[in-house]
Amino acid sequence: MEKSIYRRLYDLVAGYWPFLLASSISAFIYVAFNGLSVWLTATLFNNILTDFDELIKTQSLLASSKASLNDQLKFWTNKLILRDTAIESLKVLCYTLIASFLIKNIFLYIKNISLTYIQFNLIKKLRAQLYSHLQSLSLSFFDKRQTGELSSIVINDVSNMRVAFGTSFHKLFVEPINILVFISLLFIINLKLAFLSIVIVPITGAVVVVIGKSIRRRSRRTAEKIARIMGIMSENLNSIRIIKSFAMEAFETNRFKQEQERHYTLDLRQAKLRLISSPVTEMIGAFIAVILLWIGGHDVLVSNDMTSEDFIRFILILFSVLQPIRSLSKVGINLQNGFASADRVFNVLDTVPAIVSKPNAIKIKDVKDEITFNNVGFNYDGTDRILKDISFTMKKGTVTALVGASGAGKSTIADLIPRFYDVINGKIEIDGNDIRDLDINSLRKMMGIVSQETILFNDTIGSNIKYGLQSVTDDQLQKAAKNANAYDFISEQPNGFETVIGEKGVRLSGGQRQRIAIARAILKNPSILILDEATSSLDTESEFKVQKAIDNLMADRTVLVIAHRLSTVESADKIVVMEDGEIADFGSHQDLLKKDGVYTRLYKKQFKS
């Protein structure tokens, strides 16, 4: 999976190569001046502590010998710095040091801002890609995943990737170069001490690898727990009325606390590992540094194998190299967090939509003749067969009603026509074309659906009615509202059609929400109309008025009506009676009553006094 992540991140970053190039060049310049600033700082200490005449004498010796690379570097440094007097030399050294720090930090900023631009754009692109992909997935995918989990992936996991890969890429690119430059300088100054100092690198690396692997496992589980917590919150807030009506606040609070406790335990373990990494690597570095101080101090004070200037410079560079090594130890941990989040993000992106249009799908505008169910069978994943050998025909301009007990499969049939799900057996045809051969968008655009559960958005009333339509005049909007018996209550709202109705239309009554949904279907002027308990939330008077509007809307359209109240389907051209996922009977209202079968039993049960 890691190779896949590397490759995919590379593909995302490749388009920003000019910024990557600018960052790379700036990084090299930054590292060069960073090394120079440390070298000059050592020169500053040495020049302050050493007699000026001694410095001039040493420079003369260096000019005549320049045997080693270390001596050559010292010679060119002194040639840049030394002037006629000690104070003039100090002034030039200070100016040079300030200039090196200024240039170093200018290019550090250019490096960081270039990478930050890539990082922010990459995450913006990834989040948009993830959100767009979610829109393309079939309903069967959302049946298996919690809303909170998907929200957590889009927001939290992508954010984790931004922090992990953004910070890590900065350091992975610069710190190794920094370490390489500093270690090279250590070897130039003193081979023996340099060999001893590089022992820290493999030891630190081993510690980071062991801790990092454990952190990645825990990061993945922590992300899953966060998603679970968001799922509980989302479910709770969407069901707050039911929770309060059953006085279940204490139970829900306890359920949240238990999940939070599990997350806390995982998070704490991860934090312990993360926080111990830096102290361990620092102690390893400090231990080796003390050994080097002892050996180097002995060489200066006893054996005279090393000058005090070289010792000062060596120690400064040694402690300078410890900082990037510590940074790299944190990078490994951040990367493991990022990989855990990337696993979840790419897992969603790799999910293939179960229902898509074929490459040469047929575009359709309306029903010319009929919709036919031919021996249709269906079941949801992991469930028993929901529909068995369903066969019936819906002629254009006719009304077909589905009736039956709850769970008989009526709403499932309604979901199959717009291809929210695909049939397992048999086929559904429109004018002789299998709907799997039709373009999905064109198929769904010619349908108006008013579902049993009214779906409204946290927007204005007008925007909810116009949803999915590009250009709607005020007259068309008002006419649709009037036909749905919604105009009067809309006019009474504080801002009329511009009134914001809250999440899921919470500021409206159930009947008002249903009438807005009906107005939306009326305005769409569809060829196929699917009404799934469309009048279930209306009072008797409103139901009568809306039913008349629906009757007008049904003219010259193919209509599927799902109803529990049999009084609403008495005038249907065909009534299909469902029982246990099968068609028990079909015919007109009068024909079915004469047969004295399932329909008659349902009718008598509903209308008995």
Cα separation, 207 vs 201, whole angstroms? 10
Write down the pLDDT at residue 436. 93
CB 242 within 8 A of CB 191: no
Mean pLDDT of 444-456: 82
Residue 136 has pLDDT above 80, yes or no: yes
Classify residue 435 by its DSSP letter. Answer: G
| Distance from the Cα of residue 454 to its chain's centroid | 27
In degrees, rounded to 5, the angle at the alpha carbon of residue 559 between the alpha carbons of residues 398 and 377 is 105
Give me 425's structure tokens. Answer: 């057996």
CB 273 within 8 A of CB 330: no
Rounded to 5 degrees, φ, ψ at 571 are: -90, 5
The larger pLDDT score, comparing residue 232 to residue 428, is at: 428
| C-alpha pair distances (Å), 549 with each of 34, 60, 501, 535 | 78, 106, 24, 11
Give me 216's structure tokens. Answer: 């990645």
Give the torsion sign (CA, 15, 153, 452, 466). negative
pLDDT tens-digit map of 49-58: 666 566 666 6
pLDDT tens-digit map of 457-501: 888 888 888 888 878 888 989 888 888 888 888 898 888 899 888
Cα separation, 105 vs 91, whole angstroms? 21
Mean pLDDT of 368-375: 92
Give the torsion sign (CA, 514, 570, 483, 526). positive
Give me 187's structure tokens. Answer: 């070897």
Rounded to 5 degrees, φ, ψ at 395 are: -75, 150
Residue 214 has pLDDT above 90, yes or no: no
Distance spanning both ends of the chain, measured CA to CA: 67
pLDDT tens-digit map of 226-274: 667 766 776 676 666 667 656 777 877 887 788 777 777 777 776 776 6
Mean pLDDT of 71-80: 72
Mean pLDDT of 502-516: 79
Helix (H) or strand (E) holding 96: helix 86-136
At what angle are helices 474-483 and 510-524 packed, to 10 degrees?
130
pTM: 0.70
pLDDT tens-digit map of 522-579: 888 888 988 887 766 566 666 676 666 677 667 678 889 888 777 778 888 899 998 8
Q: Give the chain's mean pLDDT.
A: 79
Mean pLDDT of 577-592: 88
Residue 3 has pLDDT above 60, yes or no: no
Rounded to 5 degrees, φ, ψ at 352 are: -85, 130
Rounded to 5 degrees, φ, ψ at 510 are: -60, -40
Cα separation, 174 vs 178, whole angstroms? 6
Provide the 3-class DSSP secondary structure of residue 395: strand
Cα separation, 296 vs 318, whole angstroms? 12
Rounded to 5 degrees, φ, ψ at 398 are: -110, 165
Residue 391 has pLDDT above 90, yes or no: yes
Write down the pLDDT at residue 49. 60
Mean pLDDT of 299-324: 75
Highest mean pLDDT among 342-346, 368-372, 499-503, 507-511: 368-372
Residue 151 has pLDDT above 70, yes or no: yes
Cα separation, 451 vs 327, whole angstroms? 56
Residue 435 has pLDDT above 90, yes or no: yes
Give me 80's structure tokens. Answer: 């840049």
Mean pLDDT of 7-17: 76
Looking at residue 369, its amino acid is D
CA atoms within 13 A on the CB side of 207: 24
The larger pLDDT score, comparing residue 6 to residue 389, is at: 389
Cα separation, 593 vs 606, whole angstroms? 13
Provide the 3-class DSSP secondary structure of residue 305: coil
Contacts of 10 (CB under 8 A, 6+ apart): none
CA atoms within 13 A on the CB side of 247: 0
Contacts of 454 (CB under 8 A, 6+ apart): 504, 505, 510, 513, 514, 516, 517, 537
Write down the pLDDT at residue 51. 64
The larger pLDDT score, comparing residue 28 to residue 241, is at: 28
Which region among 47-51, 208-212, 247-251, 587-591 has the lowest average model confidence (pLDDT)? 208-212
Write down the pLDDT at residue 373. 94
Instruction: Identify the bridge partners of residue 531 per DSSP, sorted by sequence position.
Output: 450, 561
Write down the pLDDT at residue 532. 83
Cα separation, 236 vs 336, whole angstroms? 32
Rg of the Cα atoms in the chain: 37
Cα separation, 200 vs 206, whole angstroms? 10
At what angle are helices 308-349 and 86-136 packed, to 10 degrees?
10
